[in-house]
Structure formats: C-alpha cells, structure tokens
A and B are shown apart, each in its own frame.
Chain A
Amino acid sequence: MKTVIVRPERCVGCLQCRLACAVEHSQTKELVAALGEAWRPVARIAVYPGGVHLSFPNKCRHCDPAPCQAVCIAGAISRNPARGTTDIDPARCINCGMCAMACPFGVLTYAPTPKAPERRAVALKCDHCPDRQAQGLPPACVEACKVGALSWGEPAQEMAAKGRSLAQAYFAASRGVAESPEPEMIRLWRQLG
C-alpha cells in the first residue's frame, strides 16, 4: 500500500507541505479563496524545528492496529482497507480528545470543519488526500515538498532502494570517490545559515 514516506534528514522547514495540506482540505481547494473561507482551513501535518537547520515533518502514520481507533469512544475512527488509512468520520466525532491521549505521535488537532458544520470542533488528521488519490495524484504535501523529504511510495520498495543507494555510496566512498547524498540545493541552503 502506498504511503507518505518521511525523510526528516531532508526537511528544510519551509512549511510548503502545511500550506498545501490546508488548501487541499479547504472547501475551494484554492489558496486565495481558501483564505477567505468561513472555516479556517487547517493543516494536518506539523513541521517541528529540530537540530541546526533540521526540521521534522510529523503526520499520521495510519498505524495498524491503530491506538487512536482502539480508544475512540464514538466509533468515529475506522480502517479503510482499500486505501490503507485510518479515517475519522467527522459526523461521528464528539471531540472528546481520547485519540490525542492514545496517539504516540501526537498528530491530532481539533478544529471546526465544513464536513460537520454543526459541531464546535472535531478531530482532524492526515487522510492521504482521498480526492487527489481518486485522480491518481499523490497527497498534496508530497507534491509541495521540493526537497524530497516527503515522497509517495511503497515502504518496502523505498527501503530496498534506500539500501541500494547506501550500499553504492559506501562502495563509492571506499574507492575514494567523493559522494554527496545531500541534494545540491539543500547543501546551499544550509550554507546560508
């Protein structure tokens, strides 16, 4: 199952993913129009400052089994086997906060949403952009990330690919060839600080 693969070592903290996520989860799905919507669009991915020039994009991992699902007293969280996601039904969520207590990654936010207009707030988290996926597009955060910190793929394949590239880098290094696994633009950006 495809998922968003996070490489925190590449994240530069530009927050483009947050913006794209908020826009995708707005009603109009357009930046300028979204700014004026009655429900303030909320990003479901957070970017935390890390070490020097290091940031950490944090989002729902769609755990299986999912701790948030196990504790939800409203039956609002369910697994979508076809998409491999844990989904929150805003019509059932009663904003009790039990899921925040259970999520080991701290990824839930609580805010009003046009999907349940009668509620003061509901639990919100990453849903892997179902509307985009239906059109064959990757989630909005992935498309927005220009440095490869977020990618859309099969974890097993990505791990194999990473293993291959590490092995190549290792052999290249042992032959005395300079090898930079860091993309050029990130290296330059880091030099700025």
Chain B
Amino acid sequence: MRFVIIGTSAAGLAGAETARRFAPQATITLISDESHLPYSRPLLTYLLGGETTREKLFLRSPEYFRDWGFEALLGTPVTRVDPQAHEVHLADGRAIPYDRLLIASGANPRMPRIPGLELEGVFTLRHLADAERLERHLAKARRVTVVGAGAVGLKAADALSHRGLKVDLLARGAQPLSKVLDPVSARLLMEALQRLGITLHLHSWPTAVVGAGGRVTALALNDGRELPTEAVIFSVGVAPRVEFLAGTELSGPDGIPVNELMGTADPDIFAAGDCVLPRHLITGEPAAFHIWPAAVAQGEVAGANLAGAGRRYDGILPMNSLSLTGCRIITGGHLQPNTPEGEVFEELDAKTGRFKRLVFDQGRLVGATLVGEVRHAGIYFQLIAQKIPVKELPCDPRSPEFHPGRLWARPLPGAA
C-alpha cells in the first residue's frame, strides 16, 4: 500500500502516525510546501511575544521522518490532484502515485478586498515565514495595528504589546470574539485589553491601507478616520487551501465535505483538519471551526481509515482557550440555546472577575464559558460531548458545589 499525505502539520502528522500504527509496512509519503521541519502554528504568536524560542516551535526531532519510516517531500508545493490516475502533481513537475490519499492542507488567511495590500508593512500570521518577515519589520516599528479581534488577532495584539509596541486592535462588531463570547465575558476581556494598554476600536474596519514611499503609514477606516501605523497584521479569518483540487469536485469554497470516516467523495481520498467541513458534534450540521485539537483528532481518524480501520469521527465541538496576560477564557459549544426551552445560567464574581456561563438545551448542557478560573473546563466539555441529561448527573452543574468530587465520588451507603 502506498499512502500519500498532503500537509505536515497537526492533521497530517496525526494521520501519518496513526496510519503507521495500523499499517507498519505501508509506504507513507508526506508532502509540504514549507521546507521547515513540522512546527506548531499556534506558537507563532508566542514567538512574536518572546514567550517561546524558535527552536521550541518544532514539534518533532530532525530524525522524525527517518524514525517513523516516512518519506518526506518538503518545500514542494502540490499543484494538482488527479483522482482518476491516482496521482498528486507537484510544482516541480513530478507526479507522485498513491493508493490512498490524505489531504491535510489546512487553511490560509483571508484578505479583505481593499487597496494598498501590496505595501511594505502589510502582514498576515499563519506560517513561520510570516513570523520571520514580521520580526524583521518590527525591528524598525513602534506602532502596529491588528485587524480582526478573533482568537489569533487577540493573541497577536497581546504579544505585540508584551514587547512594548503601541497596539491598535480593530473589531468589526460591538465586541471582540463576537462569534463565541457573550457580552459579560467580552466586557471582562475588554477590561483586560485596556489594562494591557491595547487600544480597541469597535465597529471599525479598514477601507484602504495608506502608504508613502512604498511603506505603510496609516489605515483608512470605515468611519473616515485615518489611523497612523507602521505595520498592519490582518487576522480576519481563514479560507481552506484547496486550490489544487480545482476541477475535481472534491471541495466547495468553505472546505472539503467529509463523511464520518473523514472520507471525501472519492473512496480513496480522505481529508482532515482546517481544510475540511466536518459535522458539528451537537447539531450534526457541517461547520468550519479551525482548531488544533480538532485537526489532530480528525487526522487520527483519517490516518486509521487510510489503512482501512473504519474509525469514526464524532464531530467537531467548537472550543477554544484564550490566555492573555491577566485574562483566561475558555469557551465552547453553543453560545445560545437553539430552542425556546433552553436556558442560560450565569454566575459572575465581580470581585475576582471570575465568570461561569452555562447554556442548556433540551435538558442537556450544550455550551460553556469560563473566565478566570478555567481548571474544570474539561469536565463541562465532557458533559457536552457525552450529551448526558442534566437530571441524570449526581450534581447539577449550576450548583455552586459542582466539582469533580460530586461527579466521581460514590456516596457512602446511607450518606445523604
């Protein structure tokens, strides 16, 4: 058997390692257009903030490919997949044959359609090369603007302020992380941003990047203001990397549709990670949500199924952890109940800034947000994932006495 995997990041590596366990003899070829050894994308903002080093970015050793018996084609972009011929075509003209293919090509940043994007000082942050280019530019910059207040934008802003830069952060809506945060958590987050000295501009988006002498000098905003800046980092979402599938009908614009086995429309092609459109664990609807743990979990399922193991993916439970200086937030599942019988429980400790918000629907926990104390987050997500009715639990999650002991300790015979 000859397996080919496009992508050497979260999903691709998990796929390759799992496939190896199930098929010790298979030939496994890993392809990436990046020439670096596998590294952690989420660490890029921490690298920017000086909280980790370049060498700690790399998640596998230099001997990794040899140790696992993988053939690695690094620095070689894929231009086309030919499902009929069972071949992957590379930019250097080579065609790599496969019996089964795993597409784990991830995503790339989206860019707004505005003038001035070609100016020096315009950045996105997705690849190690982006971080290195940005680093060189920041050596000469004092004032930076981050466009987009999603998780990556917020972490980038935190990192930049951490290294002493003046940071402006643009949010399109009335609050940061508008898709996943309720107003109370958002207020706690905004207070933290203020303490960090980050200037948050709400309802703001750029209409043009303004420059002089080929370099960025300002951003023109929707409200007519001109915001002076020496660098702009766009973090306004991602689009799946599926250009090389053009003409194959394997992918739509939002990603590659997959079944429970992470299989695509072609029985010999599987897909996993940021490039796919998996099902939502609670609703069962296709939902794009780009997180590392999901890419790993999907990669494991797809890798096992390359080898014919028939493993199933339960679906994606959107969740994320945001840990800024002085503010921790873990949030996941539904932000609001889907039915009118649903209920939202909120508990705010104004003194400590701790906040717990639970969303219930049809007698089950379907969403959770924790600010400040996040230690028990995993327990709530277990309850969501396992879809256990609240009335069957030994203790109500709304109770102030809800903790692991209540769930796992068996009561003594006769004890109340």
Q: Contact residues of A with B, CB < 8 Å? A: 8-9, 46, 48-56, 58, 67, 70-71, 73-75, 91-92, 94-98, 100-110, 119-120
By beta carbon, the residue of chain A nearest B326 is: A120
Residue of B nearest to A13 (CB): B405
With contacts A56-B404, A100-B375, A101-B377 known, is A8 near B409, CB below 8 A? yes
Tell me the minimal C-beta distance from B238 to chain A in angstroms.
16
Q: Mark B392-416, 1 if CB is under 8 A from A, else 0.
A: 0000000001011110111110011
**Nearest A residue to B376, CB-CB:** A106
| Dominant SS among interface residues on chain B | mixed
How near does chain B come to A151, taking the closest CB pair, in angstroms?
17
Q: Which of the four size classes fits the interface of chain B?
A: 35 or more
Of all chain A residues, which has the CB nearest B383? A104
Interface assignment of B52: CB less than 8 Å from any CB of chain A: yes
Task: Contact check, A9 vs B293: say whether CB atoms are below 8 A apart.
Answer: no
Give which listed residue, B42, B43, B293, contacts A102 with CB less than 8 A.
Answer: B293
| B306-350 to A contact mask, C-beta < 8 Å, 1/0 | 000000000000011111010010101000000000000000000
Contacts of B416 in A (CB 8 A): 51-52
3 closest residue pairs by CB, A with B? A56-B405, A48-B405, A106-B376
Main secondary structure of the interface of A (DSSP, over half): loop
Give the A-binding residues of B (Cβ under 8 A).
40, 42-43, 46, 51-52, 56, 59, 292-293, 296-297, 319-323, 325, 328, 330, 332, 374-379, 381-382, 401, 403-406, 408-412, 415-416
User: Which chain A residue has the least Cβ–Cβ distance from B323?
Assistant: A97
Q: How far is the CA of A75 from the CA of B405 in the complex (A)?
A: 30
**Residues in chain A near residue B46, CB distance under 8 A:** 74, 94, 96
Smallest CB separation, B274 vs chain A (Å): 14
- B375: A residues at CB distance < 8 A: 100, 106-109
- CA–CA, A48 to B320, complex, Å? 27
* C-alpha spacing A105/B59, complex, angstroms: 26
Residues of B within 8 A of A49 (CB): 401, 405
A residues near B328, Cβ cutoff 8 Å: 97, 110
Q: CB < 8 Å: which of A9, A48, A108, A120 contacts B406?
A: A48
Cβ distance B407 to chain A, nearest Cβ, rounded Å: 9
Further contacts, 4 of them, CB under 8 A, given A52-B416, A55-B409, A101-B320 = A49-B401, A101-B319, A101-B332, A107-B375
